Amino acid sequence: MAATDRTAPHRGLLERAPSAGLVIGAIASVQFGAAIATKLFAQVGPGGAVFLRLLAAALVLLLLLRPRLRGRSARELRLAGGFGLILAAMNLCFYEALDRIPLGIAVAVEFVGPLGVAIAGSRRRLDAVWIALAAAGIIALARGRTHGLDPVGLLFALAAGCLWGTYILVNARLGRAFEGSSGLALAMVVAALAALPFGVADGGANLLAARSLLLGAVVGILSSAIPYSFEVEALRRIAPSLFGVLMSLEPAVAALAGWLLLGQSLSARTLVGIALVILASVGASYRTAAPVLLQ
């Protein structure tokens, strides 16, 4: 088992917060941050937006946490580095999807990741029903508009979903190996470096524009620094399957953020599709003990 610091840190605000509150706060922060990020696409592209987001988050976490490399095992450092690569790939795929399809739809399709984690933690025959509901929801989303959706956008959303499922499992390991959010800070540096070539390719000199830097800082704090810190703490206390059911609110919050900030209206069929994905996730993780939410 990975070694941790021998001195127990004082309980901070995150450690005292209920697990459910941390996850819900992370959901709201990341989705409204994603809506703001789309305003960067015209200037720096999806790759540039991802790089600015991860760079801002890395700087904030480094300044606040000042993580130390000394005393860390090679296994712990590999874990943080691998998590950083997952973060970079997940965000790049998700922002490429956002550049092509509406926010609410992108998140609902991406939600196959947490749904898969929830189902993998169970061996009930009833899970086949939830898989069918999720599939029906995604089909409804794909046909929710008369002119159809960009298939490349849907593929990027699905890829982001697979990476999201991996993120949940590795995040739980990271929270056990590192105290506080120090492991996340190290991972965020790796993620920013991994996203740098994509950022330069998409954004070029526009990455240094004042508006790009300002919006990138806002997005980095809302979409990375705040939610990832919340999720690391929550996953330290609750099972990944329970985390998956709490995240079932994400497609609905994403649709709300897209409507409020981007004016993205959703058809009745699309709303039904989002509801089916949410229902599938809730059903798949229903047997998890609810009292853990208040830890």
Q: Convert the pLDDT of each residue in 90-105 to its tens digit.
A: 999 999 999 998 887 8
pLDDT, average across residues 147-169: 86
Within a domain: 11:
no
Dihedral sign for Cα atoms in the order 139, 266, 31, 15: negative
pLDDT of 65 > 70? The answer is yes
Does the residue 6 lie in any domain?
no
Q: How many domains does the chain have?
A: 1
Tell me the mean pLDDT in the region 129-143.
71
Region 151-162 average pLDDT: 92
pLDDT at 92: 96
For residue 295, is pLDDT > 60? no
Position 7 confidence tier, pLDDT thresholds 50, 70, 90: very low
What pLDDT does residue 121 have?
61
Q: Confirm whether 207 is domain-assigned.
A: yes
Classify residue 152: in a domain, yes or no: yes
Q: Which of 149-158, 191-200, 275-284 has the lowest mean pLDDT?
A: 275-284
User: Is residue 167 one of the residues assigned to a domain?
Assistant: yes
Q: Is residue 91 part of a domain?
A: yes
Q: How far is the C-alpha of 125 from the C-alpha of 123, rounded, in Å? A: 7
What is residue 293's predicted lDDT score, i.e. its pLDDT? Answer: 37
pLDDT category of residue 284 using cuts at 50, 70 and 90: low
Does a structural domain hold residue 5? Answer: no
Q: Which residue in 283, 220, 282 sits closest to 248, CA to CA?
A: 282
Domain of 24 in residue numbering reads as 18-286
Q: Where does the pLDDT of residue 18 fall: very low under 50, low under 70, confident under 90, or very high at 90 and above? A: confident
Whether 12 maps to a domain, the answer reads no
